[in-house]
Amino acid sequence: MEHALTTGQSDSMGFRGAKLLFYAAVILVIAEFIGSFTFKVGPGKVVLLPMIWALLMGAALGLASDRWRSPARLDVKTQFLAAAILQPALLLFVAKLGLMVGSALPKLVAAGWALAFQELGHFVGTILLGLPLALLLGIKREAIGATFSVGREPSLAIIGEKYGMDSAEGRGVLAEYLTGTVFGAVFIAIFAGFVASLGIFHPLALAMGSGVGSGSMMAAASGAIAAQQTPEMAKTVLTFAAASNLITTTVGTYFTLFISLPLAIWGYRVLEPLIGRTTKASSASESIENSAPKLGEVKTEAPELGYAGKLLAWGVTAVLALVCDWIIHGTTPVQGLPGMAIMVLATVVGDGIASLTGRKIPAVCWVSLVAMFLTSPICPWATQIAAFSAQNDFLGVTTPMLTFAGLSIAKDIPAFRRLGWRIVLVSFVANAGTFLGASFVAQIFHV
């Protein structure tokens, strides 16, 4: 009897896993064939990339599954399995980021002190403005995930490892990510253009403030600033904005991990008893956590991934990333395989070091350090490794990651609905805070 039950649970888990991977593959292929879509809104433009289509289609499938009675539906336990796969998949993204950083280290060193210190403004500015507002609006632990950074992909990885994407903090960072993705470029273009017109900051300080860690938001903000400058200054603005964005996308991971996240946690503990309010948003976390099953409650169906599960998740994500590169860039899997294997190797080694050291330092940090070493000038094989890695597109790794994020998100929609306009407002203020904070610090060092 016990053996039959175990076998039944294993079969159920296998069926859910196969179903999840099938949906992920179909969604990813459709998203890549849709491609990018760009439209102008006022002084800026919005670019919807395949990763956004993948995230939205995954979420739509989960919402539509509520009405199905078929075994093929994307039930809540399968959504939790998607969330479990998402966390190791995020580490593969961090490895790709680290491989990019290592080869760019000489450029970062040459960027100067203003570019180096403005990074602090990027990640502290979100907390100084965003966190108090979130607490005043009645947002609880979601405020930590929503305001410790602007919620780009590295932030998803950090929160996913520390709290899990099914936590209140995970919902907060994902809500910030969604808001920033859909509205961020439009908002930052309008806001940056307005601040530039005031003449308070030097154009190059504003350019450095534009590098918030998102390519589309950086382009929108720097474009709005450059439009108000002379042709020569406009070119310099775009150059400094790109350098700042490179630092934020790479070194900024460590600022986020060791400075802004601990600061956000401390700020929440201190400020929540003082200015925290009870509103409709306050019950979002408790409601969703009380109504939806937890990973611990469905362990026989969707257990927490062990090491074998992580290897499978990395392998599946790598295969899907190779498919993305094949569809978009024509890079065959044979051409992309060496670079992808290096990426997986860096992830395995980094995660292994984190386990051996008792995870006192998160795997996110170790994985990025290992990957950075492989393409840094001190590695004897850096040139060849960088050449292999160049065959793998940055967005090719991001799209599979967000596909699993989309497939896991439907279980959290009730919480997002309760947060509603509040999280959108907090996201806008956090984005304004990161821009102003970095611009202020850059102004001090530049002038």
Q: Rounded to whole angstroms, how far apart are CA atoms 213 and 244?
A: 8
Q: Rounded to whole angstroms, how far apart are CA atoms 208 and 201?
A: 11
E strands along 155-212, which residues?
none
Q: Rounded to whole angstroms, how far apart are CA atoms 78 and 140?
A: 27
Q: Rounded to whole angstroms, how far apart are CA atoms 328 and 144?
A: 36
113-136 vs 261-275: helix crossing angle, rounded to 10: 30
pLDDT range class, residue 4, cuts 50, 70, 90? very low
Mean pLDDT over each residue of the chain, to the nearest integer = 82
End-to-end C-alpha distance for the chain, whole angstroms = 76
Instruction: Tell me what pLDDT residue 2 has.
Output: 37
Q: Is the pLDDT of residue 48 over 60?
A: yes
Token pair, residue 104, equals: 């760019």
16 within 8 A of 312, measured Cβ to Cβ? no
Q: Is the pLDDT of residue 207 over 50?
A: yes
Q: Rounded to whole angstroms, how far apart are CA atoms 305 and 80?
A: 11
Q: Is the pLDDT of residue 19 over 90?
A: yes
Average pLDDT, stretch 34-63?
79
Q: Which residues contact 256 (CB under 8 A, 6 or more apart)?
A: 123, 148, 149, 154, 155, 158
Burial of 265 (0-12, 13-18, 19+ CB in 10 A): middle
Instruction: Tell me what pLDDT residue 215 has.
Output: 66
pLDDT range class, residue 121, cuts 50, 70, 90? confident
Instruction: Tell me what pLDDT residue 283 has.
Output: 56
Cβ count within 10 A of residue 120: 16
CA separation (Å) from 133 to 129, 167, 190, 250? 7, 21, 21, 28
133 within 8 A of 263, measured Cβ to Cβ? no
pLDDT range class, residue 251, cuts 50, 70, 90? confident
pLDDT digits (tens, 9 = 90+) for 361-413: 778 888 888 998 999 999 999 999 999 999 998 778 888 988 998 898 887 77
Instruction: Tell me what pLDDT residue 45 has.
Output: 57
Q: Rounded to whole angstroms, how far apart are CA atoms 162 and 301?
A: 23
Q: Where are the alpha helices (DSSP H) in 250-375?
A: 252-255, 261-275, 284-291, 307-329, 333-356, 363-375
Q: Which residues contact 93 (CB under 8 A, 6 or more apart)?
A: 153, 154, 157, 397, 398, 401
> Which of 49-63, 221-235, 288-302 comes out lowest in average pLDDT?
288-302
CA separation (Å) from 438 to 60, 201, 445? 37, 11, 11
Q: Is the pLDDT of residue 280 over 70?
A: no
Q: Rounded to whole angstroms, how far apart are CA atoms 17 and 7?
A: 15
Nearest-CA neighbor of 65 among 51, 53, 52, 75?
75
392 within 8 A of 151, measured Cβ to Cβ? no
Instruction: Tell me what pLDDT residue 304 has.
Output: 63
pLDDT digits (tens, 9 = 90+) for 301-350: 334 677 788 899 999 999 999 999 999 889 999 999 999 999 999 999 99
The residue among 25 and 294 whose pLDDT is bigger is 25
> Which of 85-89, 261-265, 399-403, 419-423 comes out lowest in average pLDDT?
419-423
Compute the half-sphere exposure of residue 189: CA atoms within 13 Å on the CB side of its CA: 20
Helix (H, G, I), strand (E, B) or coil at 80: helix
